[in-house]
Amino acid sequence: MRSPSPNEAYIATFHTHFGALTFHKKLKGLGDNAVMMPVPRKLSASCGTCVQFSLPFDPAWADEDLEAVYLHADGNYRLLFENEES
């Protein structure tokens, strides 16, 4: 998977706030400049918290708390991954 351009970012949504915290910590450990923030209005998530990041998403990072991953570009959100464990 390619890295996003400067005008793009990945958005991960979660079932729980703990899942968002854990994912954020994992990305920080990988050197990403990840940011926790409220889920954008165009998206929905169980816990209301998402993580914005720039590293190419690896499905191996998914656990039961990860809901979905989107690519945000030019004001649009494209679903890249939806957790089937949900």
Give the model's pLDDT for residue 23: 97
Give the model's pLDDT for residue 66: 96
- Mean pLDDT for back-to-back runs of 10 residues, the chain (86 residues): 67 96 97 96 86 96 95 94 80
Who contacts 56 (Cβ-Cβ below 8 Å, separation ≥6)? 1, 2, 3, 4, 10
Give the model's pLDDT for residue 7: 74
Give the model's pLDDT for residue 44: 79
Locate the DSSP E strands across the chain: 8-14, 35-38, 49-53, 66-73, 76-82
Give the model's pLDDT for residue 31: 96
Give the model's pLDDT for residue 6: 60
* DSSP-H helix ranges across the chain: 17-29
Q: What is the pTM of this model?
A: 0.88
Backbone angles phi, psi at 11, to 5 degrees: -125, 125
- Name the DSSP letter for residue 67: E
